[in-house]
Amino acid sequence: MDLFHTLVVLLESTIRVSVPLIFAALAGLFTERAGVFDIGLEGKMLGGAFAAGAVAAVTGSVWMGLLAAILISVLLSLVHGYASITQRGSQIVSGVAINFIVAGSTVILGEAWFRQGGRTPALADGARFSTIDLPFADSVRDVPILGPIYADLLSGHFLLTYLAFAMVPISWWVLYRTRFGLRLRAVGENPGAVDTAGISVIWLRYRAVICCGILCGFAGAYLSLAMTAGFVKGMTAGKGYIALAALIFAKWRPVNIMLACLLFGFLDALAIRLQGNPLPLIGQVPVQLMQALPYILTVILLAGFIGKAIPPKAGGIPYVKER
Amino acid sequence: MSDLAIELRGIDKSFGLVHANRDINLKVRKGSIHGIIGENGAGKSTLMSILYGFYQADRGEIIVDGKPVAIRDTNAAIAAGIGMVHQHFMLVENFSVLENIMLGAEESQILNSSISKARIELKRLESEYGLEVDPDALIEELPVGIQQRVEILKALYRKADILILDEPTGVLTPAEADHLFRILAQLKAEGKTVLLITHKLREIMAITDEVSVMRRGEMVATRQTSQTSVEELAELMVGRRVLLRVEKGEAKPGATRLSLRNLTVKDGRGVTMVDTVSLDLKAGEIVGIAGVAGNGQSELLEAIAGMRRAVSGTMTLNGKPVEVTGTLDPAELRRRGLAHVPEDRHHVGLVLKFEESENAILGYHNNPKYRNGVLLNVDAIRAEAEEKIARYDIRPPNPRLKTANFSGGNQQKIVLAREMERGPDVLIIGQPTRGVDVGAIEFIHKRIIEMRDQGVAVLLVSVELDEIRALSDRILVMFAGRVVGERLPDASEGELGLLMAGVEGPKEAAE
C-alpha cells in the first residue's frame, strides 16, 4: 500500500509539473503547424509569468494577473510574427532574441518596481489560484484504490490544470474539425496552395501566432499564480525548451503532445523524488541525468530510432510569392 | 453577354527595370482553347499571374465576359470565374483530395457539413467531366497525372468558367498528356474556356483553336491554329528562322568508353531507385535515356558522376574500373575523362552568386593554367571565359556578371562550355534544354552532335521525349529504376510511351 501511495503522490506531482508543458507545447503546435517555428516559447512563458505575478501583486486580482500574462505573451508573439512573417526574418533568431530580452528585462523591471531581487511580492490568497476539490472528494477517499485516485490524483488541482487537459481535445478539434484548422495546417505545408485559394497567408499565420501567445500566457500564469505564489527570476527554467522537445517528440499531434508532456513531467517528478534517495540495485542516479532525459529521448527520436518526426513542410520558411 | 470570355487591353507591367509585359492586347473567344506560346521570360507567366490576381498590372484593362473587372487579388479572380492550374501544383501533399478541393472554399466554420457537401459536388463534377479520383486518397500517394486532375477539379469546384493551365504537360507521360487533352476537349464541349500556356509547339497544334505568341514581353501575333504551322510559330517566338529538326549523320561507334554492370542505387530512404542497370556507351554515339521524371534517371546520372554511392554493381571508364560502391571522387572521374552536365544547374552545375568567369572554371580550378602560385590567375580565367562566351554566344557577353543574372539558356551554355571544352571522352548530360528557349535549344543540340562526331561518348538523360528521339543513336527506356527496353530512335512515340509507362511494348528489347 505504501508503494501505491508513493505512486499516487508521484503521479500527482507529474500532473502538476506537466501543466505548463502542455500549454506551451500546444502553443507551439499552433504556430509550427502554420509554418512558423517558435523557439521563443520559453521567453513568452517567462514574460507571461512575470506579468501575471506583477499585476496580481499590484491589483490583488488573480484574473487581472491572468489577463496580463496573456496580453504580454500575445504581444511577444506579435513581435515574433512581425519579424518572421511580415519581415521574413529568421524565425530562430527572432525566437532566441525574445528569450534573451525577456530573461533580462523581467529581472530589471522586477527589481525596479518591487526591489525584491527580481522577484514579485508573494501573493495573498485572492491574488493567486486556489485548488478546486471535485465533488465528494473527501467522502470517497477511503474507498480502496479508486478513492485515492479520485481524491488525491484527480481532485484538488487548479482551474488552469483542468483547462490544460481540456485544451488537448479542444486543440485537436480546432485543428482537424474546423475551417481555421484546415487552413492553418495547409499553410504550414504549402502556403502557395493557401495563397492561390484566395486566403491571406500572412493573416492566417498571424492568427496562429496569436493562438500561441494566448496558450503561452496560460502557461506563464500557471507558473506564477498557481504553482507558486509570485514570480521568481528565470522561473521557467527551460520548460519552454522541454515543451518544444515534447512537441517534436509528439510529432506535432495534440494527443501525443499530452502524452509526451506527461512523460517528461513524470521524469521531472521522479528526478525530484529520487534526489538523495538511491535506487535499489542502480544506486544514486544523478539528478542531471534525469533532467537531461527529455532532450536525450528527443535526440534519439530525431535520429530515427522511434519512428520518424516529420515537421510541417513549410516550417521555418518565410512565404514569398513566386514570380 | 459577349462572345469573348476574356479581353485584355493595354496590359503593362514592370518589375523594376524589367518590362515584363508591354501593352498586351488579347481576345479569347468563349468556349475555345486558346494557346499562349513564347520562350522563357517572354512574359506569359506574368500575364497569367496578372489575370489570376497574383500581381496587378501597372496599366490596362481586364474585361471578363463583356464586363470590365478589377482583379486585385486571387479572390477577385475566382469570383470572376477564373481558375488556374499552376505548373507546380498548389496542393497540400499530406491532405486528402477532398480537403485540397475544399481548401479556401469551405461552406462553414465547422468542417463536417462542408465535407459532405464537397463530397456530393465532387461526385457530380466527376461524372460530368469524366474526372474520376478517389476523394479520400492522400495527394502524396497519387501519380502526378491524377494530382493535376485534382487541380482541375479544384478550379471547377470554385465554378470556374475560364481555366488557365500553365505548362501542364511538363510532368506527364505522353499517355497522361493525351488524357489531359481529352479532358480539355471535354471541358470545351461543356462551354468552358481554356487558356493553355506552353512552350511546346506540338501541343499547341494538337489541341488549340487559336494561338497567341509572346516575345520579350510583347504580344507579337495571334493566329488560327488551323492556318498556321509549327515553323511559323517558332519563327514568331524567336524572331528569326529556327531549325527545328536536328540534322545529324550516321553515328560511327568506336570502342566502349563507359560500361555499367548491374548498377543498383538506393535513395536516402533506402528505396531502390536504380535497379541492376547495365549499359555500354561507345565512343562516337549518343545513348538517350527516356523515362518519366522520377524513374531513376537522376540517380543513375548521379551515380555515374560520382555524386551518389551505388549499393552494388560495377562501372568501368575507358576500360579501367571505377569504385562506384566505395569512396566517391568526382574530381578523379573528371581527370579520367568524364564530364558531367548536371540536371539541376542551379544547385549542382553553378554557383549563382559567382561571376560567370568563376563558374566557367568550377571543378577545374586546380588546373595550373588558372593558378598563380596559391592564388587564382584572374586574368587568364577572364580571358578564357571571354573566349568561351564568344564561341557559345553567351549573352550578355560579360564574364564579370553574376551568374544569376543570365537567362536559363545562357546559364546552361556556361555549364556546357565548361564541360565540353575540356575534351572529355565521356560526356553525361542531364536535361540539356530544361528551361532553355527555342533558339538556345537549337544551338545546344548542334553542339551535342558535334561532340559525338568528334568521337565523344554521350549519355543523354531527358524527360523531353522529342529531344531523346532527335539526338539519340540508341534509346534506353527506364521505368521504376530498371531499363525496360532498348529501341532505335525511329521507334514510334506510342511504343516508347508505353515502355515509359511500364507497359511492355509490342516487341522484345532489341538487344
Q: pTM above 0.90?
A: no
Q: Which residues contact B158 (CB under 8 A, 6 or more apart)?
A: B78, B83, B105
Confidence of residue B243 (pLDDT cuts 50, 70, 90): low
Q: Considering all CA atoms of chain A, what is the largest pairwise distance in Å, rounded to the nearest integer?
A: 71
* Superfamily holding B256-500: P-loop containing nucleotide triphosphate hydrolases (3.40.50.300)
Residue A170 forms contact with B (CB below 8 Å): no
Chain B residues within an 8 Å CB radius of A179: 106, 108-111, 114
Mutation site, B90, B147, B156, interface A, largest A CB count within 10 A: B90
How close does chain B come to A204, measured CA to CA in Å?
12
pLDDT digits (tens, 9 = 90+) for A82-95: 999 999 999 999 99
Q: How far apart are CA B274 and CA A139, in angstroms?
A: 71
Are B105 and A196 within 8 A, CB to CB?
Answer: no
Q: Where are the domains of chain B?
A: 4-238, 256-500
- Reading the block at residue A50, the C-alpha cell is 512575470
pLDDT for B506 equals: 45
Residues 6+ apart with CB under 8 A from B188: B31, B32, B33, B194
CATH of domain B4-238: 3.40.50.300
Using a CB-CB cut-off of 8 Å, the residues of chain B touching A189 are 92-95
Q: What are phi and psi of A230, to 5 degrees?
A: 130, 165
Q: How far is CA A91 from CA A81, A87, A201, A316, in A?
A: 9, 10, 16, 6
Please give the helix or strand (H or E) that residue B278 lies within, else none.
strand B272-282
Read off the pLDDT of residues B161-206 as tens digits, 9 standing for 90 and up.
Answer: 999 998 888 777 777 888 899 999 999 999 999 999 987 888 888 8
| Domain boundaries, given as residue ranges, for chain A | 2-237
Task: Write out chain A residues lying below 8 Å of B165, CB-based.
Answer: none
User: A196, B90 in Cβ contact below 8 A?
Assistant: yes
**Calpha distance A236→A219 (Å, rounded):** 9
8 Å CB contact of B93 and A178: no
- Provide the shortest C-alpha distance from residue B110 to chain A (in Å): 4
Report the alpha-carbon distance of residue B44 to residue B47 in Å, rounded. 5
Report residue B16's pLDDT band, with 50, 70 and 90 as the boundaries.
confident
What average pLDDT does the segment B80-96 reach?
Answer: 91
pLDDT per residue as tens digits for the range B277-316: 999 999 999 999 998 877 899 899 999 999 999 999 999 9
Q: Quick one: chain A helix, strand, coil %, rounded to 5?
A: 70, 0, 30
Among B259, B279, B325, B302, smallest CA distance to B430 is for B302
C-alpha to C-alpha distance for B306 and B326, rounded to whole angstroms: 10
pLDDT top residue among B80 and A1 = B80
Virtual CA dihedral for A191, A196, A200, A201, nearest 10 degrees?
A: 10
Question: Which pLDDT score is estimated for B244?
Answer: 65
Chain A CA closest to residue B94? A189
Contact B54 A192 (CB under 8 A): no
Contact yes or no for B105 and A197 at CB 8 A: yes
Strand partners, B137: none
Which chain A residue is nearest to residue B47, measuring alpha carbons?
A: A323
Alpha-carbon distance of B396 to B431, in angstroms, equals 23
Nearest-CA distance A173 → chain B (Å): 10
Evaluate if residue A74 carries a pLDDT over 70.
yes
Identity of residue A143: V
Q: Where are the alpha helices (DSSP H) in B371-433?
A: 378-391, 408-420
Type of residue found at A126 = G
Sequence-ordered list of residues with C-beta below 8 angstroms from that of B457, at least 6 positions apart, any chain: B257, B258, B281, B282, B283, B284, B285, B425, B426, B427
Q: Which three cell numbers stand for residue A145?
A: 484504490
Cell numbers that stand for B299 in this block: 540517380
- The size of the A-B interface in CB pairs under 8 A is 73
Task: Note the pLDDT tens digit of each residue in B464-506.
Answer: 888 899 999 999 999 989 999 999 998 888 888 888 888 764 4
Cα distances from B462 to residues A257, B40, B176, B202, B403, in angstroms, run: 46, 18, 17, 17, 24
Residue A1's pLDDT is 54
Whole-angstrom Cα distance, residue B362 to residue B419?
10
Give the residue from B45, B82, B93, B111 with the most A CB atoms within 10 Å of its CB, the best one to mutate: B111
**What ipTM did this prediction achieve?**
0.86
Of A192, A199, A321, the CB nearest to B104: A199
C-alpha to C-alpha distance for B492 and B495, rounded to whole angstroms: 5
Residue type, B414: I
